[in-house]
Amino acid sequence: MIRIYNGEMSSTESTIDPYDRLLRIKTEGKQLNFYEVLKLEAFEEDVNYIRKYGEKARKQLHSKFGEIDPALWRQVFNHVEDAIATLTDQGKKAEYDNNLDIQQSGHTVQPASRSNRSDPGRAIKSAEPGERIPCRKCSTYNPPSRRFCSACGDALFMACSDCGGMNTVHERFCGECGVNIQASANAQKEALEAKFDEAEALIKDGRHDRACDTLRQLTKAQHEGEMEFAKRAATMITQVTLEKERLINRAPEVEAEAKQLRDGKHAEKAVSLIREIPKVLWPESLKELYEEVSETKKQIKRLAQEIKTAIQERRTSRLLPKVERLLELKPHDISAQRLVEKLRKSQDQADRLKREKLIEKAKQYLKQFRYERAHQVLTEVPESVRTENFLKFFDQVSELAFLSADLRRSSYADPILVGMASRLVKMMPKDKQSIDRLHKITQRCEQARKNRNTASSYWNEPPKQTTLGIPVDLYPRFRKFNTNAVNDNEHFDNFASGFVVATGLALQGIGVAKIETNLLPNKSGGVFGLIGAGKKAPTGELAWGIDLSNSGLKAVLLRKESKGEKKDAETIIHIEQMVKIEYKRPLSRADDADRRGLIQDAIEQFFNTVGKDVFNDKRGKPIVCLSLPATEVLGRFLSLPPVEDKKIPKTVQYEVRHQIPFPIEELSWDYHVWDDNLAPEEIGLESGAKRTCVVVATRLTKLQERLAFLRGLGITPSLVQTDQMAIYNFFDYDLFSEESYRQQMVETEQAVGILDVGSDASHLIICGPNSIWFRSLEVGGENFTRILVRQLSLTFSKAEEIKKKPDTAEEIFKLYDVIEPVLKNISKETSYSVNTYAGLDKLKLADVKLIGGGSYMHGLLTFMQYGKFLDV
């Protein structure tokens, strides 16, 4: 007979539950059976399983020995040992199970196999109709009509995770679909947990909306087994939504704090702070800020690593700039501060030694009169050790180097170059080579004055390769004009190319001009009244070209003479007079009233110079031709469709209405069609050939006011022409009329660039034998004057004087150092214009020639050719 364990209890039993204390089993005042004391399901038949839990109970008891009264411990220990001995013996177990069954329910229950157990305790067997259902938690048997245990309230049934069918908690396979209930539940739990893991990952990446979409799938519970997950998902959605709102509201605060950190040179902290907000929630401004501070952090990390490596390898000679850069990015780095102080001290000693060696080397070059090489050596002296005495010496060497380079690179011998050579000889009187140069330059100037041939004034051959990629040169002499009457004119001698516009105007007045556009308002009305001039200007044997520019009045009187028979007559163009009158100050520096006064004074001086009856010459009445500044002109280049000649005016008018941003009624305009590049059979509607056309226009009201003002002063022009067209007409006659040159340009499809350097602006006019293109540059001679006034604290008149005669400046190299930014600007703008023209797929540019008053500024040509004054 197997006894039911009923060990004696000690006096402490009423206060201490030994089973709870030692085995974590709450007796709740009842007697534990052997299965309960080993934490097994009732009637467990797997011996190995029983032994496993018995051994586990033994270990638990031994670990708690001494914690309670020994008598109580022995009581529990004996109970466990009896349970193990009984349940692991097949005969004793059968007898014990039968007695236990009778005791609990009054009927026999078949033992459950190990395979039928659920985890942690499997069902004894599937419940049949009418059978009582044991609770998996407290083992109390309940009638099948109950859903929850009558003793502890635990669930007696569970839903199948596949079909939702209800089964007792002890059943292994679903009665509805036959699946393994526990395995299916575990698989479903893993799948649902995976969804939660996926949502967590999305939240971590800041994709809160995607996470909520994933969680919403879990809220749709299909049966009772999924209800727990559905509730968890719903709670999580609320949390995620609130978290997203919090982060969005936090982003502006983070951005403001990160900017403060950035401004305080704490890039690394700023990066960490910004990363608190998920990247997908960053506004555009925060993205830009992160890129900035992140790049700074990378630089800091890279510099720190490079500095560390250099120190380890003992390569500290060039380490100072890197450490200084690190301190710029991270000024709070104490170790970097100490390192830079140490390196600066070491570097200063090395720099001082280097300075003395370089000074000695430069002095040796000066003894050899190699000024430019001495200057290059001194530029290597570090800024930190350039003392006052050194700077004085450096200025002297810089002056010598500049003068030497100027004599070596200047293309033309002129009075300014003589002054430069004289300054060099004065500074270095023992330099025999400079003395010899001075004599040669002086002789070349005298030869050029006596001989008007351009080649006679060359001092150095201009370079073929320049900063523009093509040759750049002056256009200092007129080629085809008879200049006997003005050879002694000081303006013609020193300022010939400044009269190009006035000469081009007069050429049109005597009928020797390819472009015959005329912006003089036409009073005839009709179609031609709308399209501007439309009426060819009168021509004669005499013509005055009057150029009222920003700096002054320039006028040229031309006379046309024909020699020989009419068929073979030779046309000779004589320059009869040249007049140049400068305004008291540039028009750009005066208001409207002052401008009128300045122009009036200049015209009065003009009449005083040439006489009141200048327009009533005894040889005939001259044609008066007036220029219109390029800054007041709009130009368009058109490609006309094949039309009959009589329809060209209306075709051009249509294009003008659509391409010029002013009502056509407010304009005075004219056009020129290029037919010279087409063979006779190609001209006309049948040929299908397109003809190019250039249109020029100006505001009618402004022009009328200008003409009325000039008429009041005694000047009544017969034609009004633009500066660009006048320049083209000049070069068409003086350059392209040479048949061999013209033929060469046509065959090679080349054009010539003319850079007219004016007072207030410059203009690039590209002239082909049968084409024109132009663009304005908003930089001129006055820009040089302004920067001298600003940088050297000079008056405007004094700055103008030094600009025209730089050899009189106290320190010439400093003068050119001041104006170099303007030189760079005009070179850059010219290069841009040349490249723009090249992109139009037109003629290839052969070279660029400088004209205008500003072109005579010493150093401009050299800078356009070489892009610098000194090699440093």
Residue 801 is part of a domain; what is its CATH number?
3.30.420.40
620 bridge partner residues: 617
Specify the pLDDT at position 15: 64
pLDDT at 222: 59
In terms of domains, do 407 and 489 share one? Answer: no
* Residue 353, pLDDT score: 94
* 420 lies in the same domain as 495: no
The domain of 65 spans 1-111
In angstroms, how far is the first alpha carbon of the chain from the final one? 117
pLDDT of residue 535: 61
**Domain assignment of residue 751, yes or no:** yes
Residue 389 counted as domain residue: yes
| Residue 5: per-residue pLDDT | 39
The total of other beta-carbon atoms located within 10 Å of residue 861's CB is 21
Report, in this order, helix, strand and coil percent for the chain, each rounded to 5: 55, 15, 35
Q: Say if CB 783 and CB 759 are below 8 A apart.
A: no
826 and 728 in a common domain: no
Q: Are residues 740 and 726 in the same domain?
A: no
Residue 245 lies in a domain: no
Q: Please name the helix (run of DSSP H) or strand (run of DSSP E) that holds residue 33, with its range, or none.
A: none
Question: Is there a domain that residue 44 lies in?
Answer: yes
At residue 2, the pLDDT reads 32
Query: Quick check: is 67 in a domain?
Result: yes
Question: Does residue 226 sit within a domain?
Answer: no
- Predicted confidence at residue 689, as pLDDT, reads 61
Q: Is residue 760 domain-shared with residue 623, that is, in the same domain? A: no
On whether residue 864 sits in a domain, the answer given is yes
CB 183 within 8 A of CB 162: no
Point out which residues pair with 510 in neighbouring strands: none
Q: Are residues 510 and 403 in the same domain?
A: no
Same domain, 435 and 505: no
Q: What is the pLDDT of residue 223?
A: 61
For 122, 185, 219, 220, 230, the CA distances from 227, given in Å and listed in that order, are: 23, 13, 8, 9, 5
Residues 616 and 548 in one domain: yes
| Cα dist from 592 to 598, 760, 769, whole Å | 10, 16, 39
List of the chain residues with pLDDT < 50: 1-14, 106-130, 454-455, 524-533, 678-685, 687
Q: Is 724 found in the same domain as 582?
A: yes
User: pTM value?
Assistant: 0.65
Same domain, yes or no: 743 and 762: yes
Instruction: Evaluate whether residue 666 is within a structural domain.
Output: no
How many CA atoms within 13 Å lie on the side-chain side of 622? Answer: 28
340 contacts 327 by C-beta, under 8 angstroms: yes
Total structural domains within the chain:
4
In 3D, which of 772, 770, 534, 535 has the Cα closest to residue 675? 770
Q: Supply the pLDDT for residue 618.
A: 72
